[in-house]
């Protein structure tokens, strides 16, 4: 009896080499579809933030014993300079000798004043209310901030000013000097040269020039203020003495600048931190000198000994230090904000990696499940065919046994 023998299909035998080509079926991770992460280089952003954070230096330079030694030494030197250079009320000071016509230095300066010819100009009008050795403080023409008016007076050949009579301001405009002689009108070029010569000559005079803006006080509506301003000028508050008040300040500034620059020339601190340290040293030094200066003014009861340059410099230093502290606080806040942003980006990068891992794990699970389902179907077909083959063999064996009986 002819029977058809069915062979097992080797195409579904289930034996295959390892093949990972199925991974190509996984679509590349795209992240949250609402945000295209491909447009952002998070690692680069983190690196840029790290560089920006490291560039923000909020360190301050601490003080040590050498800072205190140097600062107090310079402060004492500044006090000495204030006594022997700037204080015109001290008979042994340079300022007093310059103002004293009986001293050798005072005579030398007064000779310069006389040699620079500036006579016959309307700036030196000394008529009613404007005469005397203190006339420069009572006129607009000797006030440097009134430069345009002084040039106009020289060009027009007339004296323009004013004074108070019984509390009422009286303007005065005259072409004649106190002797009745007419002033000569100058060209603009001649007026510039004459003005410059006049100011230089008066700077070397015993009384020197008033401080710029002083005429606003000597022409103030309040009589007490006018008198106070005139008394200050009479007692020695003038432009030359003000310039000499800057000498102690300049000496301290130079010495502490050299000390600070040499000490931190190879430092890793920022320029702002080094400058801030220098200004702190200067503030201490100037503070020592100003304290002694104020004490001297209180004891002598002479306000013209007060070092105005020192006060102005201290105010400027205090302002600079306050501004530096505010800037440092802002930098600290900025650094914290950038660090927070960096941490958020790092967290975001970690979450993206985690989400990407979850995505690929889920996709691989899906593909494995599909492969398993396909394998189960193939295995079922194979088992069915094997069973059919076994049934055929059993039938054939049974048939052979019957034939052999």
Per-residue HEC secondary structure of 68-83 comes to HHHHHHHHHHHHHHHH
- Residue indicated by tokens 């006060």: 311
Cα(345)–Cα(130) distance, integer angstroms: 77
**Which one, of 292, 318, 296, lies nearest residue 305 by Cα?**
296
303 vs 356 pLDDT, higher one: 303
350 vs 199 pLDDT, higher one: 199
pLDDT at 35 over 70: no
Of 224-233, 271-280, 343-352, 389-398, the one with minimum mean pLDDT is 343-352
Q: What is the pTM of this model?
A: 0.74
Q: Which two tokens stand for residue 358?
A: 């979850």
Phi, psi of 252 (to 5 degrees): -65, -40
pLDDT at 140 over 90: yes
Identify the pLDDT of residue 29: 66
pLDDT at 398 over 60: yes
- Residues 6+ positions from 385 with CB-CB distance below 8 Å: 6, 8, 9, 12
Let me know: does 97 contact 107? Beta carbons within 8 Å. no
Cα(280)–Cα(286) distance, integer angstroms: 10
Let me know: does 98 contact 240? Beta carbons within 8 Å. yes
Identify the pLDDT of residue 19: 62
Read off the DSSP letter of residue 167. T
**Residue 185, CA distances (Å) to 116, 152, 171, 188, 196 in order:** 19, 10, 21, 10, 16
Cα(314)–Cα(55) distance, integer angstroms: 31
Question: Using one digit for the tens of pLDDT, what is the confidence trace for 170-194?
Answer: 999 999 988 889 999 999 999 999 9
Roughly what angle, to the nearest 10 degrees, separates helices 308-403 and 42-55?
160
Q: Which two tokens stand for residue 114?
A: 């006389």
Arithmetic mean of pLDDT, 255-281 = 92
Phi, psi of 125 (to 5 degrees): -60, 130
Let me know: does 247 contact 299? Beta carbons within 8 Å. no
Question: Using one digit for the tens of pLDDT, what is the confidence trace for 39-76?
Answer: 667 788 888 878 888 877 888 889 999 999 999 999 99
Interior/surface letters 23-53, b for 16+ CB within 10 angstroms, e for the rest: eeeeeebeeeeeeebeeeeeeeebeebeeeb
Cα(330)–Cα(336) distance, integer angstroms: 10
Identify the pLDDT of residue 18: 54
pLDDT at 355 over 60: yes
Identify the pLDDT of residue 7: 42
Q: Which two tokens stand for residue 225?
A: 């203020």
Span between the terminal Cα atoms of the chain, in Å: 16
Length of the chain: 405
C-alpha torsion angle, residues 219, 237, 234, 141 (rounded to 10): -40
Question: Using one digit for the tens of pLDDT, what is the confidence trace for 313-337?
Answer: 999 999 999 999 999 888 888 888 8
- For 134-228, list the strands marked E by DSSP: 159-165, 168-174
For 139, other C-beta atoms within 10 Å of its C-beta total 27
85 vs 6 pLDDT, higher one: 85
High-pLDDT (> 70) share of the chain, %:
90
Identify the pLDDT of residue 219: 92
pLDDT at 288 over 70: yes
Arithmetic mean of pLDDT, 260-289 = 93
Identify the pLDDT of residue 3: 43
- Mean pLDDT taken over the chain: 86
Arithmetic mean of pLDDT, 201-211 = 91
Q: Which two tokens stand for residue 241?
A: 């003495």
pLDDT at 404 over 70: yes
Arithmetic mean of pLDDT, 367-386 = 88
């Amino acid at each position: 009896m002819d029977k058809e023998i069915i062979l097992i299909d080797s195409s579904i035998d289930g034996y295959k080499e390892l093949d990972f080509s199925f991974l190509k079926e996984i679509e590349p991770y795209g992240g949250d579809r609402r945000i295209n992460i491909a447009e952002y280089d998070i690692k680069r952003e983190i690196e840029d933030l790290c560089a920006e954070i490291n560039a923000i230096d909020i360190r301050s330079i601490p003080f040590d014993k050498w800072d205190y030694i140097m600062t107090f030494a310079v402060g004492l030197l500044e006090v000495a300079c204030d006594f022997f250079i700037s204080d015109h009320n001290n008979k042994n000071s340079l300022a007093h000798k310059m103002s004293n016509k009986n001293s050798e230095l005072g005579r030398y300066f007064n000779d310069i004043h006389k040699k620079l010819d500036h006579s016959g100009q309307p700036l030196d009008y000394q008529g009613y209310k404007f005469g005397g050795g203190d006339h420069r403080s009572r006129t607009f023409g000797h006030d440097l901030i009134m430069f345009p008016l002084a040039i106009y007076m020289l060009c027009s050949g007339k004296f323009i000013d004013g004074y108070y009579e019984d509390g009422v301001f009286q303007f005065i405009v005259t072409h004649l000097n106190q002797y009745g002689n007419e002033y000569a009108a100058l060209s603009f070029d001649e007026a510039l040269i004459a003005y410059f010569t006049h100011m230089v000559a008066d700077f070397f005079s015993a009384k020197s020039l008033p401080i710029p803006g002083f005429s606003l006080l000597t022409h103030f509506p309040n009589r007490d203020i006018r008198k106070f301003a005139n008394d200050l000028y009479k007692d020695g508050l003038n432009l030359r003495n003000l310039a000499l008040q800057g000498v102690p300040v300049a000496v301290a500034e130079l010495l502490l600048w050299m000390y600070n620059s040499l000490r931190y020339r190879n430092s890793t601190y920022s320029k702002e931190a080094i400058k801030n340290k220098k200004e702190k040293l200067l503030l201490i030094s100037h503070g020592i000198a100003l304290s002694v200066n104020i004490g001297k003014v209180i004891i002598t009861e002479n306000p013209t000994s007060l070092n105005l340059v020192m006060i102005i410099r201290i105010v400027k230093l205090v302002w600079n230090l306050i501004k530096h502290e505010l800037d440092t606080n802002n930098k600290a806040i900025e650094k914290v904000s950038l660090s927070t942003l960096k941490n958020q980006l790092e967290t975001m990068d970690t979450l993206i990696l985690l989400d990407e891992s979850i995505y690929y794990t889920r996709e691989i699970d899906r593909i494995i499940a599909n492969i398993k389902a396909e394998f189960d179907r193939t295995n079922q077909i194979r088992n069915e065919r094997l069973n059919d083959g076994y049934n055929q063999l059993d039938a054939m064996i049974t048939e052979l046994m019957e034939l052999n009986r």
